[in-house]
């Protein structure tokens, strides 16, 4: 591998200056972490829960957090033999005790429940977990996190800046974040890449030539085949792919981002210009210049977390697109935007209208039974323009059921396969608006989405 | 095979009454044939050409001609050892001598030259040919005809009416005629079908269940595999398929015609109503009801015989349709009409216009060299709306070159692969007219075509 770097130290310093926590910020975070640990212990004592360990995990604990992010993950670790029910009751008991000193608290649920609080301005997750002796004997997925923490902490020393640079670089390329909305790179995955390749530069150079099926196995202990584009075998669990959530498109967007950056390493790859909301006039000009049909399906955003919402929105996007294709409309592209209170599924079509005539091709004339059935159905029927034989098959020109995409969506969208909460919301009401009418949607964040769209 | 017939004798008699030559017609034809034979012999004597036989061939000679048709085929047969040059000079010499008593004469050319004359109102072909001892030793294709004549004459006796019924039935189904315009059934093929199946009814019943690959080999002497939908091995030549000119669609139209006739045997299957020319008003109503785009390419009909013209028109129809598809226009159907002085290639499209945006999908991002080339070509280029990654591939939205089908045809039609004479004519000038504008074409035969079209 080419170890020379053409990326100037000045550039890296300029980036780090913006993203590396200051000494004051670091001290404050440490102090809050210590306070939280003390609070947890005090709460455990108060509630007479013995044998509890408190672990700070996540980027805050590893010195790889980006300035301005204020996330702390506090794991409250119970002995392995604790029952799940006990863990939940007692763990959440302790968490709620701590929350008494917080500005805000909210119950959340992953594999088991945890508490999210705002404490002195920090966004803190208080997570009860089991203390197992190795990551392959997990009782639940969150129990894995402390092992990740151990693995990274002992190896990342001296490379924290590379992790920070990489995280910001991925943000700039819109591929950072492994939640289901983004389907990009997680913080842990980023850290493992830096550990494996050795530095930010080396990672960028290597990734420029990645191909789907790329497999990295730091511990050389892989036990399973994986089908995802990138396979990063978890050093703490030989069966797990850390990059399982990474989509093919985000994988490719990262490759592309690395290549473009190497061509001309500039700060914009870390901090891209954020587009302005598009104005009505500009949008109308774009419509006029593209001459395609734009459709927006608008409905109330379901009140669920992003990890539940986005998979359902992506599913709806696919379902609407398939429905349109099935009825002969040509879809150019689809997209999803979600805000409060509305969600918009955007569809761009070659045309939102089709002629009345639809050509139905039947079986070959010589497949007698089927061919005769087909002919009987259409010959002389109402709503049939006429028929003929083409390439040995009966063909009838029939009246098309849906001549507008809008009409089709209005009548059939609810019959598509939709996720539960999205279905409920769409079922309460939705609107399909077209082209210039889309100017009715004024949300400024939607207008930013719309600028990129056209 | 079911030999019962549900076709009434009354129906057959009613048809025969319209198509069977009267005794007077028959006598007149015989007399003219005899006169022509005498004329040929006299001419041969006058020109000192010895050893000539005169043969009357074709349906007139076999008693299977339809009333109202006045075609006579006179073959002037030379000894096999005659040179081709001698055959042409002396044969055409005799023909021209005969033509001195004709109302009209015209040189024509198949594999070798022949003379077409109008003699006492009859359309007569005078064809010089070789006298070979069997059809497989032919010197040219026309030499085959006398063998066909012999084969049919000795077997068709008593079934002439069945042949007449079948020929008229095929006319009613628009599948009669083996010339390149029609690509249907020849007279000889029809006669062989009657000989093989035994009667009109039996042929109709059998054909209802035909499948492509149907092979009939009366003499059980086939020597070759054939790929055409119907194979009728020539009883006088084991290598030849008499049905080689029959297209798949005409084969299927005949099957369909037979099935429909058997469901309700009526005279309309022999004499279908001929549609009236469509009026402007009706045509405009149809346009409004179909809402498709109609395009007519109009140019001067090349001055060549149908067997040269129609293959070129069908080729042009295909070429125009492929051109439109290549540029994303959706073709519903195509058609050809040719008259004097104009020819029209008709095209019906889902839409005659497309938006400015065209989606170009490149190679997968990880096929680095190709992907980078693709990206370099489009990224930031003029006439590019924008790009993104979809399913692992670079996609660019570019300006479409042709947004109207009319514009595309006007600019690119001459670059299509066209036949010689059609190219010459189109190159002199053509027009693409659309939708309501098509009302400008007033030819009444075209208007009949147009009624069937919409």
* Residue A434 contacts B, CB cutoff 8 Å: no
Q: Kind and range of the H or E element at B31?
A: helix B23-46
B391 CB neighbours in chain A (<8 A) are 248-249
* Confidence at A108, pLDDT banded by 50, 70, 90: confident
Q: Is the pLDDT of residue A136 over 90?
A: no
Residue B127 DSSP label:
E
Give the closest of B253, B255, B390 to A366, CB-based: B255
Looking at chain B from residue 44 to 63, which residues have their Cβ under 8 Å from any Cβ of chain A? none
Residue B415 DSSP label:
G
Q: Is the pLDDT of residue A131 over 50?
A: yes
Mapping DSSP to helix (H, G, I), strand (E, B) and coil, where does residue A170 land? helix
* Residue A210 contacts B, CB cutoff 8 Å: yes
Strand extents, DSSP E, B205-272: 214-216, 230-234, 237-241
Please check whether residue B265 is in contact with residue B10, taking contact to mean a CB–CB distance below 8 angstroms: no
Domain boundaries, chain A: 20-154, 158-273, 280-353+403-453, 357-399
Q: Is the pLDDT of residue B111 over 90?
A: no
User: How far does the CA of residue A415 sit from the closest CA of chain B (Å)?
Assistant: 26
pLDDT of B2 reads: 45
Average pLDDT over residues B169-186: 96
Give the closest of A356, A365, A397 to B256, CB-based: A365
pLDDT of B61 reads: 84
User: How far does the CA of residue B97 sit from the closest CA of chain A (Å)?
Assistant: 48
pLDDT of B204 reads: 97
Give the closest of A211, A252, A392 to B252, CB-based: A392
User: How far does the CA of residue B350 sit from the closest CA of chain A (Å)?
Assistant: 6
Task: Report how far residue A72's alpha carbon sits from residue A118's, in angstroms, rounded to the nearest whole number.
Answer: 10
Q: Across chain A, which distance is largest between two alpha carbons, in Å?
A: 87
Burial label for B386, CB within 10 Å (0-12, 13-18, 19+), is middle
Task: Report how far residue B348's alpha carbon sits from residue B377's, in angstroms, rounded to the nearest whole number.
Answer: 35
Please check whether residue A191 is in contact with residue A62, taking contact to mean a CB–CB distance below 8 angstroms: yes
Q: Is the pLDDT of residue B32 over 70?
A: yes
Strand extents, DSSP E, B62-182: 71-79, 104-109, 113-119, 122-131
Sign of CA dihedral A391, A395, A400, A401: negative
Task: Report how far residue B26's alpha carbon sits from residue B23's, in angstroms, rounded to the nearest whole number.
Answer: 5
Q: What is the dihedral of CA A349, A355, A357, A363, to 10 degrees?
A: -10
pLDDT of B227 reads: 95
Cβ-defined contact of B354 to A350 (cutoff 8 Å): yes
Pairing of strands B104-109, B113-119: antiparallel
Give the closest of A289, A372, A391 to B248, CB-based: A391
User: How far does the CA of residue A155 sit from the closest CA of chain B (Å)?
Assistant: 30
Closest residue by Cα to residue A93 from A113, A79, A119 = A113
* Residue A442 contacts B, CB cutoff 8 Å: no
Q: What is the mean pLDDT of chain B?
A: 93
Exposed e or buried b per residue across A113-131, where buried means at least 16 C-beta atoms within 10 angstroms of its C-beta: ebbbbebeebebbbbbbbb
- Helices A306-326 and A420-428 pack at an angle, to 10 degrees, of 70
Mutate to test the interface with A, among B211, B214, B248 (most CBs of A within 10 A): B248
What's chain A's length in residues?
A: 454
What are the pLDDT digits (tens) for B88-97?
999 999 999 9
Cα within 13 Å of Cα(B420), Cβ side: 3
Mapping DSSP to helix (H, G, I), strand (E, B) and coil, where does residue B154 land? helix
Q: Is the peptide bond before A71 cis (omega within 30 degrees of 0)?
A: no
Supply the CATH classification number for the domain A20-154.
3.30.460.10
pLDDT of B142 reads: 76
Residue B73 assigned to a binding site:
yes
Token pair listed for A71: 């996330």
Task: Report how far residue A186's alpha carbon sits from residue A145's, in angstroms, rounded to the nearest whole number.
Answer: 13
* Residue A209 contacts B, CB cutoff 8 Å: yes
Q: Is the pLDDT of residue B141 over 50?
A: yes
What are the pLDDT digits (tens) for A96-107?
999 999 999 998
Within 10 Å of residue B166's Cβ, how many Cβ atoms? 26
Strand order in the sheet with A357-364: A357-364, A393-399, A384-390
pLDDT of B212 reads: 97
Owner of token pair 């009669």: B176
Burial label for B1, CB within 10 Å (0-12, 13-18, 19+), is exposed
> Which residues contact residue B374 at a Cβ distance below 8 angstroms, ignoring those fewer than 6 apart?
B362, B363, B394
Task: Report how far residue A298's alpha carbon sits from residue A422's, in angstroms, rounded to the nearest whole number.
Answer: 12
DSSP string, B239-256: EEETTTT--HHHHHHHHH
What are the pLDDT digits (tens) for B379-397?
989 889 999 999 999 999 9
Looking at chain B from residue 216 to 235, which residues have their Cβ under 8 Å from any Cβ of chain A? 229
Cβ-defined contact of A249 to B333 (cutoff 8 Å): no
R_g (Cα) of chain B, nearest Å: 28
Task: Report how far residue B77's alpha carbon sits from residue B338's, in angstroms, rounded to the nearest whole number.
Answer: 37
Cβ-defined contact of B332 to A210 (cutoff 8 Å): no
Considering only the top CATH level, what class is B158-273? Answer: mainly alpha
Pairing of strands B331-338, B384-390: unpaired
Give the closest of A248, A368, A372 to B392, CB-based: A248
Mapping DSSP to helix (H, G, I), strand (E, B) and coil, where does residue A331 land? strand
Burial label for B254, CB within 10 Å (0-12, 13-18, 19+), is buried
Task: Report how far residue B408's alpha carbon sits from residue A19's, in angstroms, rounded to the nearest whole number.
Answer: 55
Task: Report how far residue B332's alpha carbon sits from residue A398's, in angstroms, rounded to the nearest whole number.
Answer: 12
Q: Is the pLDDT of residue A171 over 90?
A: yes
> Which residues contact residue A114 at a Cβ distance below 8 angstroms, ignoring those fewer than 6 apart?
A92, A95, A108, A125, A126, A127, A128, A142
Task: Report how far residue B63's alpha carbon sits from residue A125's, in angstroms, rounded to the nearest whole number.
Answer: 102
Closest residue by Cα to residue B142 from B192, B218, B76 = B76
What are the pLDDT digits (tens) for B308-367?
999 999 999 999 999 999 999 999 999 999 999 999 999 999 999 999 999 999 999 999
User: A280-353+403-453 is classed in which CATH architecture?
Assistant: 2-Layer Sandwich (3.30)
Within 10 Å of residue B305's Cβ, how many Cβ atoms? 12
Token pair listed for A405: 């995409």
A293 CB neighbours in chain B (<8 A) are 355
pLDDT of A2 reads: 45
* Residue A212 contacts B, CB cutoff 8 Å: yes
Q: What is the percent of chain A where pLDDT is above 90?
A: 85
Owner of token pair 């803190």: A124
Burial label for B361, CB within 10 Å (0-12, 13-18, 19+), is exposed
Average pLDDT over residues B244-264: 97
pLDDT of B3 reads: 44
Mutate to test the interface with A, among B350, B370, B399 (most CBs of A within 10 A): B350
pLDDT of A3 reads: 43
Mutate to test the interface with A, among B206, B229, B252 (most CBs of A within 10 A): B252
Rounded to two decimals, the ipTM of the complex is 0.90
pLDDT of B1 reads: 41
Exposed e or buried b per residue across B262-288, where buried means at least 16 C-beta atoms within 10 angstroms of its C-beta: beebeeebbbeeeeeebeeeebeebbe
Looking at chain B from residue 328 to 347, which residues have their Cβ under 8 Å from any Cβ of chain A? 328, 332-333
Residue A10 assigned to a binding site:
no
Residue B443 assigned to a binding site:
no
Q: What is the mean pLDDT of chain A?
A: 94
Burial label for B62, CB within 10 Å (0-12, 13-18, 19+), is buried
Residue A59 assigned to a binding site:
yes
Beta bridge partners of B358: B398
Token pair listed for A409: 């969506």
B212 CB neighbours in chain A (<8 A) are 366, 392
Mutate to test the interface with B, among A184, A252, A314, A362 (most CBs of B within 10 A): A252
Residue B353 DSSP label:
B
Please check whether residue A145 is in contact with residue A129, taking contact to mean a CB–CB distance below 8 angstroms: yes
Residue B109 assigned to a binding site:
no
Closest residue by Cα to residue B21 from B33, B13, B29 = B29
pLDDT of B146 reads: 85
Angle at Cα A418 formed by Cα A414 and Cα A420, nearest 5°? 110
Q: How many helices (H) and strands (E) does chain B have?
A: 15, 15
Residue B70 assigned to a binding site:
no
* Residue A423 contacts B, CB cutoff 8 Å: no
Average pLDDT over residues B426-446: 97
Mapping DSSP to helix (H, G, I), strand (E, B) and coil, where does residue B360 land? strand
DSSP string, A347-375: EEES-SB--SEEEEEEEETTSHHHHHHHH
B333 CB neighbours in chain A (<8 A) are 359, 390
Mapping DSSP to helix (H, G, I), strand (E, B) and coil, where does residue B329 land? coil
Q: Is the pLDDT of residue A314 over 70?
A: yes
How many angstroms from the chain centroid is the CA of residue B362? 43
Residue A226 assigned to a binding site:
no
Task: Report how far residue A46's alpha carbon sits from residue B430's, in angstroms, rounded to the nearest whole number.
Answer: 96
Cβ-defined contact of B390 to A356 (cutoff 8 Å): no
Q: Which fold has domain B22-153?
A: Beta Polymerase; domain 2 (3.30.460)
Cβ-defined contact of B389 to A290 (cutoff 8 Å): no
Task: Report how far residue A345's alpha carbon sits from residue A313's, in angstroms, rounded to the nearest whole number.
Answer: 8
Strand order in the sheet with B331-338: B331-338, B342-349, B293-300, B430-434
Cβ-defined contact of B365 to A255 (cutoff 8 Å): yes
């Amino acid at each position: 591998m080419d170890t020379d770097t053409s990326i100037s130290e000045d550039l890296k310093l300029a980036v780090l200056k913006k993203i590396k926590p200051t000494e004051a910020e670091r001290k404050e975070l440490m102090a809050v972490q210590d306070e939280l640990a003390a609070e947890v212990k005090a709460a455990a004592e108060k509630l007479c829960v013995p044998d509890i360990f408190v672990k700070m995990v996540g980027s805050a604990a590893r010195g790889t957090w980006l300035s301005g992010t204020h996330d702390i993950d506090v794991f409250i670790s119970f002995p392995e033999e604790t029952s799940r029910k006990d863990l939940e009751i007692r763990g959440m008991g302790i968490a709620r005790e701590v929350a008494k000193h917080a500005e805000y608290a909210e119950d959340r649920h992953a594999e088991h429940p945890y508490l999210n609080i705002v404490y002195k301005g920090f966004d803190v997750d208080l997570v009860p977990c089991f203390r197992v002796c190795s990551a392959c004997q997990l009782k639940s997925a969150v129990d894995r996190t402390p092992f990740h923490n151990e693995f990274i902490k002992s190896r990342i020393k001296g490379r924290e800046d590379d992790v920070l640079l990489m995280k910001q670089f991925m943000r700039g390329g819109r591929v950072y974040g492994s939640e289901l909305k983004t389907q990009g790179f997680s913080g842990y995955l980023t850290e493992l890449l830096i550990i494996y390749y050795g530095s930010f530069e080396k990672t960028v150079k290597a990734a420029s030539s990645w191909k789907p099926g790329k497999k990295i196995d730091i511990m050389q202990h892989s036990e399973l085949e994986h089908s995802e584009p990138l396979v990063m075998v978890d050093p703490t669990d030989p069966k797990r792919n850390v990059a399982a959530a990474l989509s093919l498109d985000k994988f490719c967007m990262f490759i592309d981002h690395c290549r473009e950056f190497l061509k001309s390493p500039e700060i914009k790859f870390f901090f891209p210009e954020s587009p302005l909301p598009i104005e009505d006039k500009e949008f109308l000009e774009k419509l006029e210049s593209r001459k395609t049909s734009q459709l927006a399906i608008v409905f109330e955003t379901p009140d669920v977390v992003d990890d539940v919402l986005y998979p359902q929105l992506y599913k709806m996007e696919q379902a609407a697109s398939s429905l349109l294709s099935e009825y002969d409309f040509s879809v150019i592209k689809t997209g999803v935007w979600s805000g409060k209170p509305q969600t918009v599924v955007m569809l761009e079509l070659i045309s939102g209208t089709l002629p009345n005539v639809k050509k139905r091709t039947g079986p070959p004339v010589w497949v007698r039974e089927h061919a005769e059935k087909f002919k009987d159905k259409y010959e002389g029927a109402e709503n049939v323009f006429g028929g003929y034989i083409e390439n040995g098959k009966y063909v009838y020109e029939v009246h098309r059921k849906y001549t507008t995409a809008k009409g089709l969506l209005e009548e059939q969208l609810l019959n598509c396969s939709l996720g539960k909460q999205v279905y409920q919301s769409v079922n309460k009401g939705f609107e399909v608006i077209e082209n210039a009418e889309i100017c009715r949607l004024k949300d400024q964040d939607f207008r930013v989405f719309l600028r990129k769209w056209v």
